[in-house]
Structure 1
Amino acid sequence: MKEICVIGAGTMGNGIAHCFAQNKLNVILIDSSIENLEKAKENINTNLDRMIKKGIISTNEKINTLNRISFKNSLDNAIKNVDLVIEAVTESIQIKREIFSKVDKICNSETIFATNTSSISIKEISKSTSRSEKFIGMHFMNPVPLMKLVEVIQSPLTNKNTTNQIIELSKQLNKIPVLVNDAPGFVANRILLPMINESILTLEEEVSGVKEIDTVMILGMSHPMGPLQLADFIGLDVCLSILEVLYTGFQNAKYKPSNLLIEMVKNGELGVKTKKGFYNYNNGIKNKTVAERFN
């Protein structure tokens, strides 16, 4: 593969674009929002500068990486001959289907389609295209340039050649691909999100406080970050969306989102991106404090 299209310039999309470009693949990064594209440029530039400071890459490598990324705010024939399209937009099956339906009409028949969905059925998204056999999941972890794992999710309709190509591509990105079959939440979020939800229920039931719950999991279970802070980093709206997919998909009460999580999302308390979740981030991540409502 030589050229990739990434649709969605948010946190995951710009991280995916960065990762491909750093590994010598040309990338077209598309987002309908000019503001999102500008933020993506800034984020990629900042992350590359951090890598220079840590001695991971040289200044020339940064320049070459940036030169491999082009930014566009609409879908057009420029993506016709790309080898792979990766979608990294909001976690909505309707939006994902609409995007892939449009892209399917533009790209040639050999182009592979991948979604970075963290929980939605690959098979169901692929039905919006004429190439379910060339449709697959590539679930990257955040932050994409640093995290080694890629969940490679095959639906019952994905052919073996597509799966093998994406596994090899993941290795080319210096990632470790793990093959997963299509099921709600796949592996990572099917295990992680119930733990986060249980942590929120523990807080909601006043068993313990925010800092205390996170401390137990950090010191007692050797987690690098507590589950409530992790929820803030993921985004409480994203956590809720994934839990709803799990709850609907399995029809099992153990996946039912907590009332506190639902309330916080309604209030716009989404975590780091709104500077308020279980913690307050007004003074930055390093100087976080427990949110006032939980004191």
Structure 2
Amino acid sequence: MMISKVAVVGSGYMGGGIAQVLALAGRDVVLADASAELAHSSRERLIREAADYGGRGIFPPDAADRVAEHVSASSSIEEAVADVDFVEEAVPEILELKHETLHRISGSCRADTLVGSNTSTIAIGTLAQAVEDPTRFLGVHFSNPATFIPGVEVIPHAGTDPSAVDRVVELLGECGKVGVPITDVTGFVLNRLQYALFTEAARLVEEGVATPEAVDLIARTTFGFRLPFFGPFAIADIAGLDVYDFCYGSLHEAYPDRFAAPTILRERVERGEKGVKSGRGFLATPAERAPELAAYRDEAYAALAALLRDLGPAPVDY
């Protein structure tokens, strides 16, 4: 069943961005918020934003007209969700508020309506406790800003019908997004990685190793420069898992309470699976593709460097 009509409950920055994404993909979107006035003002804001983005060339030229055509505002949550195929809840990260909102949504929508939550850290199984028929409920976590970040975490809880995952991933693909199904844990993947990085960055500043400016500069211009093209496992395979294992040894000796080689890394090294140079590591890139991989890497990094030069420095003050 194609998802053609959607309700977004919570029309703020994240919910509004999600509504724009869906509308530009031709879906009819109904906004709901704490009041009818707030939902209507959000709709007008989204149209103005789309016009601005279109004028800047980062949305299609007709984006404002498309958002105006496909986005409507409802007087209540119950009215908004009454006859839609999918509801995305995007209210603030307050458990009690999310429970109340999800209870209202699931009690007012059709029995076959899928219900998603844009929660960034709360376990989906915890939120599912408030949902009538939780088999149709799952996490659908967009990143900020939802309009431009392509990846979306899709998080079923233990009782989610697998078909719900398939339908949401298909919808996201049709909207130009990349839906990535993962297992339900607190923080999911994105924020566990993001906050692990921030924790170590904060420690470096606390220990006097570097200033916040220096940490940001190093992160952006070294390993962060690779991340648009290669994830952490691909980067490790390219570098060599035996090299990673050695580096973990040095880090563990200096910071035994913070660093230790992961078991899955050591097991692969012991089996001789050292990454691209051995033809297998965490991924299965054969050694004969190393020249092709290096050529792609070099062209990608050169293109990114050129883009950054064209854009100039971000307006961030330290």
* TM-score, normalization by structure 1: 0.72
Shift of 1:73: 5.1
Amino acid aligned to 2:221 = L
What are the within-5 Å matches in structure 2 for residues 254-265 of structure 1? none
Mark the CA change 1:105 to 1:48 in structure 2 (over 3 Å): closer, same or farther.
same
Checking the alignment, whether the CA contact within 8 Å between 1:32 and 1:73 is kept in structure 2 is no
Amino acid aligned to 2:164 = T
% identical equivalent positions: 26
Amino acid aligned to 1:14 = G
Q: Secondary structure at the match of 1:77?
A: helix
Mark the CA change 1:96 to 1:66 in structure 2 (over 3 Å): closer, same or farther.
same
Match of 1:191 in 2: 193
* Distance in 2 (alpha carbons) for counterparts of 1:179 and 1:98: 26
Match of 1:288 in 2: 316
Match of 2:214 in 1: 212
Q: Quick one: which of 8, 11, 14 aligns to 1:12?
A: 14
Mean Cα displacement is larger for which, 17-26 or 68-77?
Answer: 68-77
Q: Secondary structure at the match of 1:289?
A: coil
What are the within-5 Å matches in structure 2 for residues 96-135 of structure 1? 96-135=98-137
Q: Deviations over 1:234-272 (max 9, x none)?
A: xxxxxxxxxxxxxxxxxxx98xxxxxxxxxxxxxxxxxx
* Distance in 1 (alpha carbons) for counterparts of 2:29 and 2:138: 19
Q: Secondary structure at the match of 2:222?
A: helix
Which has the bigger relative contact order, CA under 8 A and spacing at least 6?
A: 1
Q: Secondary structure at the match of 2:41?
A: helix
Shift of 1:63: 0.5
Task: Name which one, 1 or 2, has greater alpha-carbon Rg.
Answer: 2
Q: Deviations over 1:115-160 (max 9, x none)?
A: 0111111111011112111001111112212111111111110011
Amino acid aligned to 2:317 = T
Q: Quick one: which of 156, 159, 179 aligns to 1:157?
A: 159
* TM-score, normalization by structure 2: 0.67
* Distance in 2 (alpha carbons) for counterparts of 1:192 and 1:44: 32
Q: Deviations over 1:84-111 (max 9, x none)?
A: 1101111122211110111122111111
Q: Deviations over 1:2-50 (max 9, x none)?
A: 2111011121100000000111111111111545753563255224432
What are the within-5 Å matches in structure 2 for residues 1-295 of structure 1? 1-32=3-34, 34=37, 38=41, 41-54=44-57, 56-59=59-62, 61-72=63-74, 74-223=76-225, 286-290=314-318
Amino acid aligned to 1:54 = G
Checking the alignment, whether the CA contact within 8 Å between 2:14 and 2:144 is kept in structure 1 is yes
Which segments of structure 1 move beyond 6 Å, counting only runs of 4 or more?
Answer: none
* Distance in 2 (alpha carbons) for counterparts of 1:56 and 1:127: 38
Checking the alignment, whether the CA contact within 8 Å between 1:4 and 1:25 is kept in structure 2 is yes
Q: Secondary structure at the match of 2:182?
A: strand
* Distance in 2 (alpha carbons) for counterparts of 1:193 and 1:143: 18
Shift of 1:175: 1.0
Match of 1:275 in 2: none
* Distance in 2 (alpha carbons) for counterparts of 1:78 and 1:120: 24
Shift of 1:196: 1.3
* Distance in 1 (alpha carbons) for counterparts of 2:42 and 2:31: 12
The number of equivalent residue pairs is 232
Structure 2 residue runs without a partner (length 5+): 228-256, 259-312
* Distance in 2 (alpha carbons) for counterparts of 1:95 and 1:121: 15
